[in-house]
Amino acid sequence: MSSEYLPGLAGVPATKSNISSIDGEQGILAYRGYEIKELAEKSNFEETALLLLDGHLPSQAELDDFDCQLRAERRVKYKIRSIMKNLPPSGHPMEMLQTAVASLGMFYGGEEVLSDGISGNDIDYIHRMSVKIISRMATIVAMWEHIRNGYDAYEPRDDLSHAANFLYMLHGKEPDPLAVKIMDACLVLHAEHTINASTFAALVCSSTLASPFLVIAAAIGTLAGPLHGGANQRVVQMLEEIGRPENAKAWVEKQLAARKVVWGMGHREYKTKDPRATVLQKLMMEWGESQGTLSKQFETALALEEVCEEVLGPKGVYPNVDYYSGILYTEMGIAPDQFTPIFAVSRVAGWLAHWREQLSDNRIFRPTQIYTGEDIRSYVDIAQR
């Protein structure tokens, strides 16, 4: 067995999975064999989540049943609201989300904690927990937008789809149909992406047979970092700094000369444009047309992409999913620090699919290390140091 150290475990297989696949050379992402571009166009979040969880496209009856289950689990207990109301309003929503999700197991407790007595093949248990978490994650993120501003949150509605209810709770008004379509597509696009950092964190936590709420809390903490889910917020800040399309070229040259990051550009897996970025760009164009004009920020993003394609394209660096998602959310009136929580509202479907897969053939993760410290030595009394 090789003992070679590979920083970041680059290229090291950590598990076997049949949930999603990436062809980085061709720019293809597929869930259970279905290309993401087709799912974003033809499916919706509810169907995609069930595809990820169960492994097949559901029948109409299966989908209707799953949809009803999600709608029935949207409410959260008032004590969870109380916890949220006592958190600092200036705190980052991802820290709130991790806290709230971790606490769910205490309020819906008892059966949620796995033990050797509960089989990893108990599909009813796994499905039930998955529905509880997927549904309530969206509720919690939407509630926080009002709670942190000193207002009571809107109650969820059971007459709306997952995406529509989320937007209703977020903005407190009937959602625009195009906004619902775009949000639904965004949730599909972000739902799964093989063994990324947050999914790996979920796998490690899952392998200990921790509560699924703690598994998802571990994933949320990992997603929060700017090198993972937090990058879309950085993209918007970057575009604000650039200001106008005509400033893009000089800004990129200055940034690269200083060896600094161009946020939203490049992906470890893709050598071409991220297929999710292509879909998001198309949605952004559709939104702009509905508004009668493209925003200055979007025009700047297009100009920046053109410059980067010339400078970074030969190196295989192209826009990733974070590049256009933040712009799109901004245009829809969503606060920048809520971008990553929305990512989590979607990605929870993939995390839970991997949780289920891990439990089906579980073995606790216990990697090794290459020790670089001191040899064995004697303790020195404090008076002699």
- The residues carrying an active-site annotation are 267, 322
Residues 6+ apart with CB under 8 A from 139: 74, 75, 76, 156, 169
Do the bridges between strand 34-35 and strand 28-31 make them parallel or antiparallel, or are there none, so unpaired? antiparallel
CA dist., res. 20 & res. 72, Å (int):
28
Helical residues (DSSP H) of 190-295, grouped into ranges: 197-207, 212-223, 231-242, 248-257, 275-291
CA distances from 152 to 48, 92, 339, 345 (A): 31, 19, 21, 21
Hey, what are 364's tokens? Answer: 């606790």
For the chain, the residue count is 385
- Backbone φ, ψ for residue 99 (5° rounding): -65, -50
Residue 164: closest CA among 290, 46, 51, 279: 46
Taking a C-beta distance cutoff of 8 angstroms, is the pair 31, 51 a contact? yes
CA dist., res. 191 & res. 283, Å (int):
17
- Backbone φ, ψ for residue 319 (5° rounding): -60, 140
Residue with tokens 């470890």: 268
CA dist., res. 274 & res. 351, Å (int):
20
Hey, what are 198's tokens? Answer: 């947050």
Taking a C-beta distance cutoff of 8 angstroms, is the pair 12, 6 a contact? yes
CA distances from 130 to 45, 65, 122, 142, 345 (A): 14, 14, 12, 19, 12
